[in-house]
């Protein structure tokens, strides 16, 4: 079942065996349920769990502690949130999302997008990796693009690599220039980390060419085949 998942093709036999163990753990510990009448099959659960566990393959299952639920919508879903304007009035606004990750709550995903990203390659796009990267980022209690780093990694080097690349992308987007990196990464540092994680696993060559210092830090952090 996992052999058809494009993002897993760089793994060797030992890594795949380890990933299957972690996927089994994930399916045992986390509930994956459907919304709006979506019937969730075992293959759908495996698609979500295996790709989520790719992020923590060399980090450990404790990195997914503190929450228990994944919710799958059939397609993009609408969420409402309160927005305060410049004069202090609060307005309710609606957004259409393909994924959402709550700091201490569920991960919510559009199955249409999960299915597309799982079986049809798009460089830099994988909604499962994106939303579960937010879970790693949030382990410190806030999502700011600085997850708890491995022992021996330098927070200073991480911050320098990410802030320099983020600032460069923001300038590029502000100037209306189109680059190789999804401009959504310029939203804020948390989204930048999540998008960079998508590129690290789905299009490492693009990331290495565009943001070599970021690629190096993610290779130290994730320590997977995508680092090579």
Query: Token pair of 217, please?
Result: 């830090």
What is residue 227's predicted lDDT score, i.e. its pLDDT? 42
Instruction: For residues 14-20, give the mean pLDDT.
Output: 96
Kindly tell me the sign of the dihedral angle through the C-alpha atoms of 174, 147, 216, 204: negative
Please report, in angstroms and rounded to a whole number, the separation of the first and last CA atoms in the chain: 25
- Given a contact cutoff of 8 angstroms between Cβ atoms, the answer to whether 150 and 219 are in contact is no
- Name the average pLDDT for the chain: 89
Q: What are the backbone angles phi and psi of residue 177, rounded to the nearest 5°?
A: -85, 145
Q: Are 211 and 165 in contact (CB under 8 A)?
A: yes
**Spatial CA neighbour of 36 closest among 83, 93, 76:** 76
Average pLDDT of span 132-157: 95
Q: What does each C-alpha distance from 201 to 114, 173, 174, 187 come to in angstroms?
A: 15, 23, 27, 21
Q: List pLDDT tens digits, range 26-41.
A: 999 999 999 999 999 9
CB 145 within 8 A of CB 221: no
What is the distance between the alpha carbons of residues 178 and 182, in angstroms, rounded to a whole number?
A: 9
Nearest residue to 191 via CA among 134, 107, 126:
134
Per-residue pLDDT band for 228 (boundaries 50, 70, 90) equals very low
Whole-number pLDDT of residue 105? 79
pLDDT of 177:
87
Taking 3-state DSSP, the helix, strand and coil percentages for the chain, each rounded to the nearest 5, stand at 55, 15, 30
Q: What is the pTM of this model?
A: 0.88
Place of tokens 């790709």: 51
For the stretch 188-201, pLDDT in tens is 999 999 999 999 99
Would you state the structure tokens that stand for residue 124, as one six-digit string? 């830099």
113-128, pLDDT tens digit by residue? 999 999 998 889 999 9
Measure the CA–CA gap between 10 and 16, rounded to whole angstroms: 10
Q: Tokens 């065996």 correspond to what residue?
A: 17
Structure tokens at 196: 């960079």
CATH of domain 2-77+91-222: 3.40.390.10
Q: Are the CB atoms for 27 and 49 separated by under 8 Å?
A: yes
What pLDDT is stored for residue 93 in this prediction? Answer: 59
Return the beta strands (E) in 13-122 as ranges.
31-34, 69-73, 77-84, 90-97, 99-101, 107-110
CA torsion angle 207 210 216 219 (round to 10):
0
Domain boundaries, the chain: 2-77+91-222
Which H or E run includes 217?
helix 212-222
């Amino acid at each position: 079942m996992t052999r058809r998942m494009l993002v897993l093709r760089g793994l060797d036999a030992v890594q795949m065996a380890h990933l299957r163990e972690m996927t089994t753990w994930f399916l045992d510990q986390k509930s994956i349920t459907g919304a709006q009448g979506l019937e969730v099959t075992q293959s759908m659960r495996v698609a979500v769990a295996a790709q989520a566990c790719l992020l923590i393959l060399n980090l450990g299952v404790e990195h997914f502690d503190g929450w228990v639920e994944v919710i799958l919508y059939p397609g993009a879903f609408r969420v409402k949130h309160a927005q305060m304007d410049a004069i202090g009035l609060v307005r309710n606004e609606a957004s259409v999302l393909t994924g959402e990750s709550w700091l201490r709550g569920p991960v919510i995903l559009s199955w249409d997008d999960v299915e597309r990203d799982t079986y049809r390659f798009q460089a830099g796009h994988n909604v499962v990796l994106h939303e579960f990267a937010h879970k790693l980022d949030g382990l410190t209690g806030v999502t700011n693009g600085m997850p708890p780093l491995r022992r021996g990694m330098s927070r200073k080097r991480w911050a320098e690599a990410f802030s320099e690349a983020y600032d460069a992308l923001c300038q590029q987007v502000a100037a209306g220039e189109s680059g190789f990196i999804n401009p959504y990464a310029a939203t804020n540092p948390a989204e930048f980390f999540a998008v960079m994680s998508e590129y690290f696993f789905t299009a490492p060559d693009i990331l290495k060419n565009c943001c070599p210092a970021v690629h190096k830090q993610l290779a130290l952090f994730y320590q997977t085949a995508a680092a090579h």
